[in-house]
A and B are shown apart, each in its own frame.
Chain A
Amino acid sequence: MIIFYTLAVLLILSSLMVVFQRNVVHCAMALVAALFLIAILFVTLQAPMVGVLQILVYAGAIMVLFLFVIMLLNPTSLEPRRGLSWGFGTVVALLLAVALAALVSHDEAPADPFAATELFGAPESLAKSLFTDFVLPFEIASVLLLIAIVGAVVLAKREH
């Protein structure tokens, strides 16, 4: 209960920082924080596996990649002041938030969680469904990652 709401507040704060910090590295760190919080939320939702994966993949790999790129390019000049678009963008986004919230939250949504067993969210069950029902998507995902790697190498390689 309390955990959730504190997490929620922190989460929203950090996300706002991601968007409104002007310093790229600060944005990145805020995002790391947000991801970490989300991971904790996952754990509270009986998805420890996914939570840890979240940290491992996002915080551990993707965000480090971001930081790496930031440092590699090291954009000296701070980004220019936002154009006209930002007021409009914010308004539209707020509308979107309201609309989404209104849409997703209806009354017959279950208030109480499903009575979860011990195995629910455990690595075994996740692995089971991954390698039985979702084996094809799994393989496709692996191929996708391979393609991404190759593409990244080709793109970022300095042409001599």
Chain B
Amino acid sequence: MVEPTPNPMALDLLRWIPLLPLAACAINMFFGARLGKKTAGLLACAAVGASFAVAAYVFMLLPATGVFRDTLYTWFESGAFRVNVSFQVDALTAVMLLVVTGIGFLIHIYSLGYMDHDEGMVRFFVYLNLFIFFMLLLVMGDNLLLLFVGWEGVGLCSYLLIGFWYQDHNNAIAGNKAFIVNRIGDFGFVLGILLLVTELGRQGIWTLDFAELQKHVNMLSPATVTAITLLLFVGATGKSAQIPLFVWLPDAMAGPTPVSALIHAATMVTAGIYMTARLHFLFALAPQTLSLIAAIGAATAFFAATIALTQTDIKRVLAYSTVSQLGYMFLAVGVGAFGAAIFHLFTHAFFKACLFLGSGSVIHAMGGEQDMRKMGGLKSHMPATYWTYVIATLAIAGAPFTAGFFSKDLILWQAYSSAHGSPGFWLIAWLTAGMTAFYMFRQLFMVFHGGSRADPRGQAHLHESPAVMTVPLMILAVGSIFSGWLGAPEYLWGSRWDHWLEPVVRGGHEVHHGAVETEITLMALTLVIVAAGIALAYVKYGRPRPAVDQGAGTGGILYRISLNKYYVDEIYDWLLVRPFTLISDWLARVFDPGVIDGIVNGVGAGARDASSIWRALQTGNVQHYVMGFLAGTLALLVYYLRQP
């Protein structure tokens, strides 16, 4: 069912894409202190910019159905099983490359301004470069193991960056939470990889190369494939914050805002999507898994959206919206529309990064204040931020002819029309779209419109961010409009996108297109609910009024549930954390001292008692030893004398 992928062309250029950031990271790590903040930051940006240039160049070179490969060396080889450290670039990877390096570059520049006052700036850029390196490893690795290395690496960097301001205990806690939750997911991921290897090995195929896998995947029994894909998906839920492992992402907002933009919106959290798309040939063979993915995606999307409705922390709103958008992507994956998923990933990277950076700019202006209830009326103070924010908001809400519009509609349409899709999925996604529009505009109004609710000193402090921060915002804003136009539906100028990704995700689900008028109707419906959402937001928050937050159905049970995020954290705490801590506590206090130490000490004591007799021989007196030595020599001599 799968034609062999075209033979890869060697291109030594590739290795520089990941290696440049790594080099910058190393330099800053060892000499950053001496280089000074400015130089270190510029160096980091330069490195990422350079690798972006290379990536763009490679992108130009890349023919429609081509694969570039650059093998550095053989990592390890045991018997027939051989893993290379080698990079490959095909259409899918190319897209990811552009997103990672491009947006990464912009965010680096933005960070120059944002982290200006922070004395940990050098450390920050070291982490950031390291993250870029691992992310590139993740998307460029030509085998599952390399991908996994990158996967773990980005997890590590995310941990480091969430806890960047480790002086505050809560940040450290948040970092731990993210790391641990990810570990749970990664555990499943590892199991999946192992299962895959062993099962294929059983068939005599020892490999992890994607190309090889694609060739031989049909050797596996459906049940096995289902198991593997499920396990892999567990990993994906961890990394991409899906139910049930999404809880870490909102807390991850403890990190600096550029980090939230880069890692927890644009790139890392999409690793799960990328992984599923990369292994689409595998997932395509497991319909049950796909439907589960679709269900979870839809659920997450809806669920997160409902939480986002009521959050008051500017970054948390964005965080939940990220979760929700990721849900969209998984929904698309679930219905077999990998192309659509990647497309939304692509556009989402732009406007979500823009939103985060905008919020960062706002926080910067508010002097660290993140509570939307204390904001308002910033429009006049920071126009650049405001307008870019508006554009991004429109984009994510799915206003016509913005990026979000195209990608989201594509997903909705696929959810409805594709073989795995169903009206149910469409309905959920549709409602979610409405809520998205509502909470995004709620945020917009609360932050930028109306009168300022900040205390006088804060008002005095208000200022537009420097160009180094606003310029990236503008670029991203432009991106969040036009990046979508690549994937326009058939009834408009038609999609470059699918054709572009065709060769890669071919063998995924042939998306059979339904009737165009249906598609248009659905699109219209979406627009309606989006408009409704916006209108509602305006009614509730748009018009200037003194204290905003008390509105919005105060005290409503639903409101409180949503505000408290469905008490998920508390539930997990009761269900998992508490028992776990109790058990380990018991082990530490009772089992370890009693049993483990008991055994160890018992052995020691036994030896000691057993030796109590012979110990007397060791008098510690050298001359006694000499005596024994002498006796032995004598015995030997006598023995030799008795020889004839």
Contact = CB atoms under 8 A, between A and B. Distances in A.
B627 A96 contact: no
Nearest to A95: B634
Interface residues of B, number: 11
A102 B638 CA distance: 10
Contacts of B641: 99, 102-103
Contacts of A93: 630
A92 B632 CA distance: 11
A96 B630 CA distance: 8
Interface string A64-102: 000000000000000000000100110011011001101
A130 B633 CA distance: 32
Among A89, A93, A96, A99, the one with the most B-chain Cβ atoms within 10 Å of its Cβ is: A99
Contacts of B637: 96, 99-100, 103
Contact of B627 (A88, A95, A102): A88
A85 B634 contact: no
Interface string B3-41: 000000000000000000000000000000000000000
B633 A96 contact: yes
Nearest to A88: B627
B623 interface: yes
Number of contact residues on A: which range applies?
A: 10 to 19
A54 to B, nearest CB: 26
A85 B623 contact: yes
A92 B627 contact: yes
Interface string B283-298: 0000000000000000
Nearest to A100: B637
Contact of A85 (B627, B633, B638): B627
Main secondary structure of the interface of A (DSSP, over half): helix
A60 B183 CA distance: 74
Nearest to A98: B637
B623 A92 contact: no
Contacts of A95: 634
B635 to A, nearest CB: 10
A5 to B, nearest CB: 26
A85 B625 CA distance: 12
A103 B641 CA distance: 6
A97 to B, nearest CB: 11
Interface string B608-638: 0000000000000001100100110110011
Interface in A90-123: 92-93, 95-96, 99-100, 102-103
A15 B623 CA distance: 20
Interface string B499-533: 00000000000000000000000000000000000
Nearest to A86: B623
Given A85-B623, A85-B627, A92 B640 contact: no
Contacts of A99: 634, 637-638, 641
A23 to B, nearest CB: 20
Contacts of B627: 85, 88-89, 92
A93 B626 CA distance: 11
A92 B638 contact: no
A95 B638 CA distance: 10
B634 A96 contact: yes
A93 B637 CA distance: 13
Contacts of B638: 99
A68 to B, nearest CB: 23
A103 B638 CA distance: 9
B621 to A, nearest CB: 9
A38 B634 CA distance: 26
Contacts of B623: 85, 89
Contacts of B634: 92, 95-96, 99
Among B623, B631, B637, B640, the one with the most A-chain Cβ atoms within 10 Å of its Cβ is: B637
Contacts of A89: 623, 627
Contacts of B630: 92-93, 96
A100 B634 CA distance: 9
Nearest to A92: B630
A20 to B, nearest CB: 16
A95 B637 CA distance: 10
State the 4 A-B residue pairs at the shortest beta-carbon distance, nearest first: A99-B637, A92-B630, A96-B634, A103-B637
Given A89-B627, A92-B627, A100-B637, 11 more contacts: A85-B623, A85-B627, A88-B627, A92-B630, A92-B631, A93-B630, A96-B633, A96-B634, A96-B637, A103-B637, A103-B641
12 contacts: A85-B624, A85-B627, A89-B623, A92-B634, A93-B630, A95-B634, A96-B633, A96-B634, A96-B637, A99-B634, A99-B641, A103-B641
Interface of A: 85, 88-89, 92-93, 95-96, 99-100, 102-103
Interface of B: 623-624, 627, 630-631, 633-634, 637-638, 640-641
